[in-house]
Amino acid sequence: MTARKREEAVVFLNNLAELLGGGEESKEELVASLRARGLDTDAVLADFKQILEEHAPVWRKEAGIARRAALEELQHSVVSPVPSRATLVETINQIVTAMRELGAPVEAGAYYRDFREATEEDLRSLVADLQVQLESLRRPK
């Protein structure tokens, strides 16, 4: 497609989007507007139709693949329960104990405040951070 045809297609699609999006122009007004800009609406529409026909099978195939993948993911997804505050604190204590057994200093501000000021989101974040630290300590060097 030449640069001019691309420009025509862009203008056409913009006008089509405006028309479909609730623009107040009628079909006749839209065609007149395009022609007033020097566009051959029949040629633009033919090019647009050709593009759709060429790419529709690919788009359909990709949409089918995406739809099947999403369905597969939904069927196999397991909603993990949100751990309670007590479970989070227990997990943190277990990780801290394991880290100390490996000789690592543990510097968790919430840990020293007995977790009173920490929100559950903070505790979940702390668990994730401590798990990463523990795994890095356990990796062979």
How far apart CA 122 and CA 89 sit, in angstroms, is 11
Both tokens assigned to 100: 């100390």
Q: Which of 76, 99, 122 is the last residue of a domain?
A: 76
What total of structural domains would you count in the chain? 2
pLDDT tens track, the chain, 141 positions:
566 766 777 777 777 666 555 556 677 777 787 788 888 888 877 887 888 788 778 877 888 888 888 888 878 777 677 889 889 989 988 998 898 888 887 765 545 566 777 888 888 888 888 888 888 888 876
Same domain, 25 and 57: yes
Q: Sign of the CA dihedral 123, 126, 130, 131?
A: positive
Same domain, 30 and 92: no
Q: Which of 58, 76, 94 is the last residue of a domain?
A: 76
Q: Which pTM value belongs to this model?
A: 0.41
User: Which residues constitute the domain of residue 89?
Assistant: 85-138
Helix axes 3-20, 41-76, angle to 10 degrees: 70
Same domain, 126 and 89: yes
pLDDT tens-digit series, residues 59-79: 778 888 888 888 888 787 776
Identity of the amino acid at 106: V
Same domain, 72 and 29: yes
Same domain, 93 and 128: yes
Same domain, 36 and 95: no
Q: Which of 76, 96, 124 is the last residue of a domain?
A: 76
